[in-house]
Amino acid sequence: MKIHHTHPAHRQRPGFTLLEMVIVLGIIAMILGGAIFAMRGIGDAAKISQVEADFKSFESALAMYRINAGSYPTTQQGLDALVNEPTSSPQPRRWVQVMSNIPTDPWGAEYRYQFPGSKRANQFEIISNGPSGQPNTDDDISSQDL
């Protein structure tokens, strides 16, 4: 009777081969790359939401300023009037600091302020230069457009 012995080198071991691992990692890398590519626009959407939230904060602060001062700050006085008492005319009737600092927009530029606004003269207007960072371009965001 002949006994058949299998050689240990020919035995199939459980697990993955190097080639299988490389293929799986390649597929995972492609999926992650696609997800990152698809999400690149979400950053701007979040930044635009931040601008809208900043506009709401300014709206509340400017309403408080108006209650104390009697009117909104002029374009020349700007948003700084919410942090520092204006020295130019018209002097506020009563001045109270309503913001500790003026935030910049999500792209790092200062918000622009004007009163009267360009679309509604009886209302202030706050403008972000938008993603381009350049004033008076198509991607500017105005509080009077929302």
Q: Write the DSSP assignment of 61-113 as a string of letters.
A: HHHHHHHHHSSPPPTTT-GGGGTS---SSSPPSS-----S-PPBPTTSPBPEE
More confident residue, 45 or 38: 45
pLDDT over 90 at 145, yes or no: no
Name the band, by pLDDT with cuts 50, 70 and 90, for residue 33.
Answer: confident
Rg of the chain over Cα atoms, rounded to whole angstroms, equals: 30
Domain boundaries, the chain: 43-145
Residue 61 pLDDT: 93
Q: Tell me the per-residue pLDDT of 98-134, one tens digit each, with 9 for 90 and over.
A: 999 999 999 999 999 999 988 998 899 999 999 888 8
Residue 7 pLDDT: 57
Residue 9 pLDDT: 58
Give the fold, CATH level 3, of 43-145: Glycoprotein, Type 4 Pilin (3.30.700)
